[in-house]
Amino acid sequence: MLLFRCLSSIIFITCVALLLTPYAWLAPFIALGCIGLIVLYRHPAWGLLGLIFLVPFEGLFEGTRFFTGAKVLGAALLVIVACQLILRQLPIARLGSTLWRPLTLFLLFYVISVLHSNYFELSINSLRQMLTAVAIFILTLVLAEDLRFKHIMSTLVLAVAMTALIALYQSYSSDNNRATGLLKDPNYFALLVSVAIAMAGYLILHQRNWLISLFWAGVLVILLMTFMKTYSRSGALVLLIVIGFAIWHYRDYLHMIRARHLGWVLLSLAVAMPVLHFSIPEDYKQRLFSLLSLQKGIKSFDDRSLGRRASYLVVGWQSIKENPWVGSGPGSFPVSYAYSGYASAFSLSRREPELFRRAHNTYLELAVESGLVVSLLFCWLAWRGLLGYWQVRTIALQKQRFSLASSVTHLGLAFLALCIFLLFLSAPNHKYFWCMLAIAEVVRRYCEKQSRALTEESRHEASL
């Protein structure tokens, strides 16, 4: 109550002061900003949902280096969470994680690589982006316990679906056939759609009202249509793996199918297969079949995209052999690639050659730029996250908590899609990766609390 009165007084004084200046039009924004801070202080977990929601819209602020919506919200949330932790309004135990040791080593070696970099300005910018990603990890670690997993998944799926609608409109109304949403890279957009598809499956299957399930089914159709318009070959591979693991998770439900249901199942498959065949664009089919040209090696110009990706591996391996421990410096791979002969050979345009290309492989890029130790530590963090989801799923199934097992499974599938996609995309500071890595720790912590509570309860019953 005292905080509310102090902020109200500040709002009033600030607005009156602005009304007496030529910048009176700023007064309403100051008032709204202060009200937003009050709401954010009372409900900081809503700020985390806001950060998750804003990720697909980052392209809107591409030309703005400072003061984007996500940066302002993230900075305010960091200050609020720090104050609440100091004042014990949030339990300090929420910062506990088994990942702090490998994460600290990861950051330590990353900073060492920055200090030894020949491209200091590029490396400092990469370090700033990495620290932002770690800040997302900390905020999620502290605030995710105040949110339901379904709310996190709903927020992410709705945000990606909104940009998917924009992407569909753009792809049909412009000459650019590949859907990018509000981003520049269709593969990066395909990553977001893959993560959303993994979560949309849970939202469809676990609703009490069939109308809500029907709504999420419509959202899933939009996501699948947009995914096909990205023409992402790596995305198709990731999506098949995710669908395969989802089917394996729900295999125990097959016993619910009776003989009278078999006809409907066969009829659904008979209708779905031709619809799927005709709904996939012909250009996308040709891109998928072009993967067969991989056996020809990087000298093949039948598919310049595959040849260019193979050249990244050649240049990357050569750079690793030259400096395996501290790398050439974060952010320096595009420079190394530009000096190679492959940059001009596989340039997208002869008139305006694009020589500075990223590795399109996060694990390779980290090894080249920051050394093998940093890359291995990043792989270890990803593996620990996947293992955390798997362990909680196993425990939930053993205790017959099928709803928890399904939610954790779909979160784990989304994280798996991210980890696999990083083999084809350079995004070590991807916000969803670090957010879901923290959620894996929150899920594990929640499961441990439940186990301790059940153990204490059984001990108490035994003592009576």
User: Distance between CA 355 and CA 31 in Å, rounded?
Assistant: 48
pLDDT grade for 342, boundaries at 50, 70 and 90? confident
What is the pLDDT, as a whole number, of residue 268?
64
The better pLDDT of the pair 97, 262 is held by 97
Q: Give the model's confidence band at 414: pLDDT under 50 very low, under 70 low, under 90 confident, else very high.
A: very high
Rounded mean pLDDT of 431-439?
A: 96
Give me the mean pLDDT over the 111-123 stretch. 91
Q: Please tell me the predicted confidence (pLDDT) of residue 449.
A: 75
Q: How far apart are the first and last CA of the chain?
A: 45
Q: CA angle, 186 as apex, 182 and 190 as ends, to 5°?
A: 95
Tell me the C-alpha distance between 157 and 193, whole Å: 8
Confidence of residue 182 (pLDDT cuts 50, 70, 90): confident
177 in Cβ contact with 283 (< 8 Å): yes
At 198, is the pLDDT very low, low, confident or very high (cuts 50, 70, 90)? very high
Residue 178 in contact with residue 229, Cβ under 8 Å?
yes
Question: What average pLDDT score do residues 122-147 get?
Answer: 93
Distances from the Cα of 128 to the Cα of 137, 213, 338, 386, angstroms? 14, 41, 24, 26
pTM for the full model?
A: 0.89
* Of the candidate ranges 19-28, 127-136, 242-251, the one whose mean pLDDT is the lowest: 19-28
Residue with tokens 């939610």: 407
Could you give the C-alpha distances from 144 to 141, 343, 438, in angstroms and in order?
6, 43, 8
pLDDT band at 156 (very low <50, low <70, confident <90, very high): very high
pLDDT at 10 over 70: no
For residue 331, which phi and psi values (nearest 5 degrees)?
A: 85, 5
State mean pLDDT over 357-373. 91
Q: Is 381:103 a contact under the CB 8 Å cutoff?
A: yes
Whether pLDDT at 456 is above 60? no
d(CA 286, CA 351) in angstroms, rounded, equals 27
Give the count of alpha carbons within 13 A of 299, CB side only. Answer: 1
Segment 453-459 shows an average pLDDT of 56
Residue range 293-311, pLDDT digits in tens: 555 554 545 566 777 888 8
Instruction: Calculate the alpha carbon distances from 400 to 107, 222, 393, 448 in Å.
Output: 39, 33, 10, 16
User: What is the SS3 assignment for the chain?
Assistant: CHHHHHHHHHHHHHHHHHHCCCCHHHHHHHHHHHHHHHHHHHCHHHHHHHHHHHHHHHHHHCCCCCCCHHHHHHHHHHHHHHHHHHCCCCCHHHHCCCCHHHHHHHHHHHHHHHHCCCCHHHHHHHHHHHHHHHHHHHHHHHHHHHCCHHHHHHHHHHHHHHHHHHHHHHHHHCCCCCCCCCCCCHHHHHHHHHHHHHHHHHHHHCCCCHHHHHHHHHHHHHHHHHHHHHCCHHHHHHHHHHHHHHHHHHHHHHHHCCHHHHHHHHHHHHHHHHHHHHHCCHHHHHHHHHHHHHHHCCCCCCCHHHHHHHHHHHHHHHHHHHCCCCCCCCCCHHHHHHCCHHHHHCCCCCCCCCCCCCCCCHHHHHHHHHCHHHHHHHHHHHHHHHHHHHHHHHHHHHCCCHHHHHHHHHHHHHHHHHHHHCCCCCCCCCHHHHHHHHHHHHHHHHHHHHHHHHHHHHHHHHHC
Q: Are 334 and 356 in contact (CB under 8 A)?
A: yes
Instruction: Centre a 10 Å sphere on the Cβ of residue 367 and count the other Cβ atoms it contains.
Output: 25
Q: pLDDT tens digits, residue range 232-257?
A: 888 888 999 999 988 888 876 666 55
pLDDT(284) > 50: yes
Percent of the chain residues past pLDDT 90, beyond the cut:
40
Handedness of CA 359, 360, 364, 366 (dihedral sign): positive
Q: How far is 287 from 285, CA to CA, in rounded Å?
A: 5
